[in-house]
Amino acid sequence: MTKRETDTSASEEPSEQSAQATAVAADEAAARFDALVEEGVLAVGDESGVRTTDEFDDTHAIYHDSYVGVDDHEFHEAVAATFGLPGREAAADLVAERGVSRDEFVVYLAVESHLDGADSRSAEELSAMAGMVWEVVPDSPVPADFADVTDDPHSLLAGEERALVSVWKRFCDPCEAAKEDLDPLLDAVPDDVSLAGADGEAAVEFCRTHGVESAPGFVLADGDDRRTVCESDPEAAADEVRAFYED
């Protein structure tokens, strides 16, 4: 056997193994997806594609309200208890190593709670299933009409002469109601006003600084003037926005 033949043989064998591993992984992923559908976590529609079910959203909302706003101490304690870690320091290391956000952890807890027989599944399997669900959950509660500045909403107010930063939250009934009819608000914003949105649960400091106590909220800026409006009715919010920028 020549060296070339030896090299070719050696390269084909891992390739076969890789193909088999890929096929197995695909089968496992398909089985997990099917389980999520069967257990009522995900629904598949002809036009809407894959989405989370209303029943799962109710479970998700409970854990979301319980854990998204907690401080690091409580968050790490919850992670340690969930994954059987020795303490908060180990949980903090895991969170940092894997880049786990509170939102992702909440989805994991909701999936674990919603699935029948979750105790028989490993944490790795549940994590993989939660990852599938996480891909379906919208990235942000900010409506598509608004640029998302959740990472740094302060910079928009500091960098623009006239700006409006809207604040939204997940599982917020007033927010969902307001999103149904944004036209009055959008029509009230002058063309020279920079318009953006932020996730209120992530932009905690911004909300505290500007006194946004409920969502939806709107922080208005015109030069050095600032006003915060917390109003779920689009018409009422539009009236306040229009009055502010016309003064």
- Kindly report the CATH number assigned to the domain that includes residue 159: 3.40.30.10
Which residues span the domain enclosing 199?
A: 147-246
The predicted structure's pLDDT at residue 13: 57
Look-up: residue for tokens 């939660």? 130
Q: Is the pLDDT of residue 239 over 90?
A: yes
Which residues does 60 contact at the CB level (< 8 Å), separation at least 6? 52, 106, 107, 110, 137, 171
Query: Is 191 in a helix, a strand, or coil?
Result: coil
User: Which of 102, 98, 97 has its CA nearest to residue 73?
Assistant: 102
Q: What value does the mean pLDDT of the chain take?
A: 90
Residues 120 and 170 in one domain: no
Between 173 and 6, whose confidence is greater?
Answer: 173
Does 214 reside within a domain? yes
Look-up: residue for tokens 């779920």? 232
> pLDDT per residue over 156-201, tens digit each?
999 999 999 999 999 999 999 999 999 999 999 999 999 999 999 8
Residues 61 and 160 in one domain: no
Residues 24 and 82 in one domain: yes
Q: Alpha-carbon distance 40 to 133, whole Å?
A: 12
The predicted structure's pLDDT at residue 2: 34
Under the banding of pLDDT at 50, 70 and 90, the label for residue 4 is very low
Q: Is the pLDDT of residue 218 over 90?
A: yes
Helix (DSSP H) and strand (DSSP E) numbers for the chain? 11, 7
> pLDDT per residue over 43-91, tens digit each?
998 666 899 999 999 999 999 989 988 899 999 999 999 999 999 999 9
Region 217-223 average pLDDT: 96
Residues 122 and 184 in one domain: no
Q: Is the pLDDT of residue 211 over 90?
A: yes
Query: Is 164 in a helix, a strand, or coil?
Result: strand
Final residue before a domain boundary, out of 136, 167, 194: 136
The predicted structure's pLDDT at residue 183: 95
Residues 36 and 126 in one domain: yes
Residues 189 and 106 in one domain: no
Domain count, the chain: 2
Range from 2-6, 61-65, 69-73, 225-229 carrying the lowest mean pLDDT: 2-6
Residues 166 and 203 in one domain: yes
Under the banding of pLDDT at 50, 70 and 90, the label for residue 8 is very low
Look-up: residue for tokens 């056997």? 1
Distances (CA, A) of 214 to 24, 110, 210, 211: 48, 25, 11, 9
Final residue before a domain boundary, out of 110, 136, 162: 136
The predicted structure's pLDDT at residue 20: 79
% of the chain with per-residue pLDDT over 90: 77
